[in-house]
Chain A
């Protein structure tokens, strides 16, 4: 046991020349990065994306799926370039700190923590609901109390995260892979490839091509994000992968490719079986559309597989969110953007244990006390603000440190086209969100303005100004 906890051993990694006596453990490979990114997102294929169908019909959901796909491909490419160069915990927060400035970094850090903690709460609510449905299906008399299951999901996953990153993300790899394979199996067995297809696209779409016209397509963009929201979370693993320059771009780009396939297949399967009025109503209609499709396919095996797929996707997402929110919170603590107390690493498990424990009650409060759609909206809005920051970030990065000044692990093609595309798509999505959730959008931006003032006039005096820039980079161009 002693050897496990001997943090003064010179052979243990994490011992560094800066004086790090105990740091995060570099144990992850590209597959874990993939599992972190896809794991957070895949629940969006199992539920949530179908609200886009309700906003504008099945075709609108497909257009939104591909437009959001372009948006997130830009996100993944930009992220891969920057994070393979700024490979530290905190992800986009750390990127903002090095490239834009402290106030931007503080805001981006909060976007990250809110987006992931809210999504974690939403996933826990969903998991509780799944247990409720299973109890009803198995003939339970009376209503199941969902609270113990919601709390158990958060507690178990926080415990897993507390105990070490390798087990956490290996667990994510297994359950994410099962959830993804479940979609492939459902596609193969219902599309007619193996005989006996049940797809009725032509009949179901006739007369309902675009029920609300092109404004419906625009409104659908809001939920089109649902197919991919969270893929940018791969960057939070930067300080724990063995080879950041290779594993981060590899895992992130493989992740977005997986999601483009999963999203398109999901749309194809569900829209070919479920009528759009039912599919588009995620509250009283198809709560979990892939599962509903499996039920209609008439195979008990498929029902079980997609049932487990739904639960696993939900757990994988909550698990990844705990991992990412705690890394962002930890990185902010380490730089004293927040109290330095949060910047602690567990000497044995090598995880940011205080940040993990601190965020548990916050997730519980939202999971037990707030309605699901509000929690999700808060998460999407924080994510959207983060995507708006990314194009500005990459443009400044390329300008201050051109390609020949720092070696990148990955260089994304066609710059500045992806950045400008991303910026334009973010603008469209902001408008789409404004149509549906204007009040929340204004309230949220108001919140970030207030905390920015707090940071500028009060908190910034505690920041470690000298030691927060750690990358051995040359002076930026023009300075």
Chain B
């Protein structure tokens, strides 16, 4: 067992950690917000807002 064998294990462990973080956060987010809010993003917000200001 030299340093590189340890690094291999560390890489496996870190990969699992990053993966786990994303999956847990994803499931948590999906369950705490409604689908309506999460998928409410619309294209062209900036343009639409500028238009609004001009009218206002």
Contact = CB atoms under 8 A, between A and B. Distances in A.
Interface of A: 7, 14, 16-24, 26, 87-90, 94, 135, 138, 140-141, 144-145, 148-149, 151-152, 155-156, 158-159, 162, 239, 244, 331, 334-335, 340-341, 343-348, 353-354, 356-357, 360, 467-468, 470-472
A20 B45 contact: yes
A354 B22 CA distance: 10
A376 B52 CA distance: 46
A343 B41 CA distance: 7
B45 A155 contact: no
Contacts of B40: 19-23, 345
Interface in B11-56: 11-12, 14-15, 18-19, 21-23, 25-26, 29, 33, 35-49, 51-52
B43 A347 contact: no
A16 B45 contact: yes
Contacts of A20: 40-42, 45
A430 to B, nearest CB: 32
Contact of B8 (A88, A138, A144, A159): A144
15 contacts: A14-B45, A18-B45, A19-B42, A135-B4, A140-B2, A144-B4, A148-B8, A148-B9, A151-B12, A156-B14, A344-B41, A345-B38, A353-B29, A471-B44, A472-B47
Nearest to A157: B18
Task: Determine chain A's interface SS by DSSP, over half rule.
Answer: loop
B2 A141 contact: yes
B43 A88 contact: yes
A404 B34 CA distance: 43
Nearest to B23: A357
A374 to B, nearest CB: 24
Nearest to A330: B41
A269 to B, nearest CB: 31
B5 to A, nearest CB: 8
Given A16-B48, A17-B52, A94 B12 contact: no
B14 A22 contact: no
Which interface residue of B3, B4, B19, B48 has the most chain A CB atoms within 10 A? B4
Given A155-B15, A344-B39, A345-B38, A140 B4 contact: yes
A16 B9 CA distance: 47
Nearest to B50: A472
Contacts of B38: 22, 344-345, 347
> Which size bracket describes the interface of B in this complex?
35 or more
Contacts of A148: 8-9, 11-12, 15
Given A90-B43, A360-B19, 10 more contacts: A23-B45, A88-B44, A141-B2, A145-B8, A148-B15, A152-B12, A239-B46, A340-B39, A344-B38, A347-B29
Which interface residue of A152, A341, A354 has the most chain B CB atoms within 10 A? A152
Nearest to A353: B26
Nearest to A134: B4
A51 B47 CA distance: 45
A155 B25 contact: no
A23 B48 CA distance: 14
A156 B52 CA distance: 40
B31 to A, nearest CB: 12
Contact of A26 (B14, B29, B46): B46
B48 A470 contact: yes
Contacts of B43: 88-90, 94, 239, 331, 334-335, 468, 470
B37 A159 contact: no
A152 B14 CA distance: 7
B4 A347 contact: no
A43 B14 CA distance: 25
A124 to B, nearest CB: 11
The 6 closest A-B pairs by CB, nearest first: A470-B44, A148-B11, A16-B45, A18-B42, A155-B18, A159-B18
B37 A7 contact: yes
A333 to B, nearest CB: 8
B55 to A, nearest CB: 10
A470 B8 contact: no
A468 B36 CA distance: 17
Contacts of B48: 16-18, 470, 472
B39 A471 contact: no
